[in-house]
Chains A and B, each alone.
Chain A
Amino acid sequence: MSLRMLDLVFRHKVLLIVPVLLGLVLGIAWFVSSMKDEYVSDASIKVERPSFLPTAFEFNPYLSAAQNQTEAMVELLPTDTFSAAVLARANDQIGECGVPALTYYDLLGGTSITPAGNTIVSLSYRSSSRCVAPIVVQALYDEYTGVFDLKVQADAEEAVKFYTGQLDIAAQNQVTATGDFRAYVSTRPEYANIVDITKPGAEAIADEQYLRLSSAVQIYKDNYQVTLAQLQAAQDLANASTSGSATFELYDPPNEPNLPIALGTRAVATKPVMGLAAGLIVSAGLFFVLWRRDRTVRMATDLNFLGNGAPVMSLPTLRSNRRRWPRSFVRLATGLTNGMNHLG
């Protein structure tokens, strides 16, 4: 900044400061006029994904169950179908609250979905009505439950198909291993009395082939049992009418809030700061215009362009208590100061 710019700022200080103050005042007025109590109702949802479900579909194994679930819920919320279903549920009930029906933008603007740990998802809704907030949270939860129940059921049915195939393979492997083992033992009559490798003393047998075949029988047998258990769990999930309860469970139901939420610093400051910023922009624009329009000489350095070495000396403005004088008296005073009068 040059001295000339500084001088301009102070010369027009009132003109430059008025837009800033006006912007601030308007920003505060805007905040006050739009200020209203807001209520938040929330619900905590426990989400767990059964380990037997396949992980190939829409599931990031590097995120927690809550994070995966949150992503899925946030993704679903702005879709027309889902939001319309939630609004239909909520608007059916909020008539009792004496407020207008919610819109798509109300729903999106007020809803917040965040993971609160590894398995808990927090679902909340902010509204100017304490009555509406819990209704919307409940509607959201119900709609999410419906959607994710179907999803889990679909996953479970996929899992049943998958584990049925796996069980067939496991059974086939078990049969093959048992056949191989029996064939080998039949060629070794001395092993007849310890056919059952689970009996004490079987480990004493030093025949490597015998041990390999008998271990294979045991492994395939165990594998079969595990696969069978997973298949049964998947079948149970797929057949259950409320399968969501296993993966999407409401821990803390939404309640009607007693007190409005406290306004944060950001909420309080945003509008006044916006007004202030607008005022500053206007002031900067005024400054620019004044700067560009002022072609007058104001200080000695403005005469540097003369370039002929002529000395420049500044004379101050004669002011203060002479304001009461007619303008022509400035000359009179100058003349008198220099002894120019016929009365001397």
Chain B
Amino acid sequence: MRAEAINTKRLGRSRARKPALSASEERNQLLAEIKDDIAIACPEYADLAKTLRSFAARYLVKEEPQGLLLGVVSAESGEGRTTVSLGLAGALADMCANVVLIEMAAQQGSQPSFTEELGLSPSAGLAGVLQERASIEDVVQPTAKGNLWILPAGQNGKHDGRVLSPSATRALLAKLRGRYAVSLFDVPAVLEDEEAPSFVGQLDGAVLVVSAGKTTVDEVNATMALLGDVPLRGVLLNQVHEHAPRWLASLLEA
């Protein structure tokens, strides 16, 4: 009840101010207002974080990792890959020395990148590093966790042959491997970006995000075929909604 009240009250207030504020200002203001209450207002997000911590501990970092390069992949965009990347990066930061989340996927349409959503400073980002306009140290941004860093896609984040040149990519990966315990890549959708499979092939493993009720079996098959020999560290079936009552489902299982 308290969570509902907080949400309703604050969202209502933010809407009332909408004409006077720009979109980013409004977002930042809302961010400031709800950040302290988020765990209370959204217990499901806390559960999600707990589940992802469990997944990371069991399947990704059984021992203390050093220079582990992991990609979060999905067949198509809109399957929750970025959200899972955010959660997984936070979970990994709880158990590793330092973690960097690299935003690779340029968001489609009007949906903003998570750099903007989180209120991070615009920078040259990954694009700038790959184009040797900036160093990693210049563009990574700290978070409240302290050992979790974010490398935004950058202002020229759309991928083309120039951005993902093999030599620049190899150099980037080598730097990341030496600097961070875990580097987590939010990779563009495999079936939408033809460079994504070859990029993931250079990583130590991948986590496949599948959206329940959206991703088809054929899409998963096609994704797996494109990923080839990349070690699949696990599959996260996202947005699962159990429609049948649990007691009835358990009866059927019995």
Contact = CB atoms under 8 A, between A and B. Distances in A.
A297 B237 contact: yes
Most chain B CB within 10 A, of A333, A336, A341, is at: A336
Nearest to B220: A297
A303 B220 contact: yes
B202 interface: no
Interface residues of B, number: 83
Nearest to B143: A340
A95 B233 CA distance: 90
Interface in A276-318: 295-300, 302-303, 305-306, 308, 310-318
Nearest to A310: B232
Contacts of A299: 212, 237, 240
A328 interface: yes
A337 B216 contact: no
B217 A302 contact: yes
B224 A337 contact: no
Contact of A321 (B7, B87, B141, B211): B7
A131 to B, nearest CB: 58
B55 A320 contact: no
B121 interface: yes
Contact of B220 (A1, A306, A332): A306
Interface stretch (A4-12, A156-164, A169-177): A4-12
B144 A313 contact: no
A338 interface: yes
A300 B235 CA distance: 9
A176 B237 CA distance: 113
A328 B216 contact: no
A297 B252 contact: no
B49 interface: yes
A297 B217 contact: yes
Nearest to B78: A327
A344 B212 CA distance: 33
B176 interface: no
Given A6-B252, A313-B236, A315-B84, A335 B216 contact: no
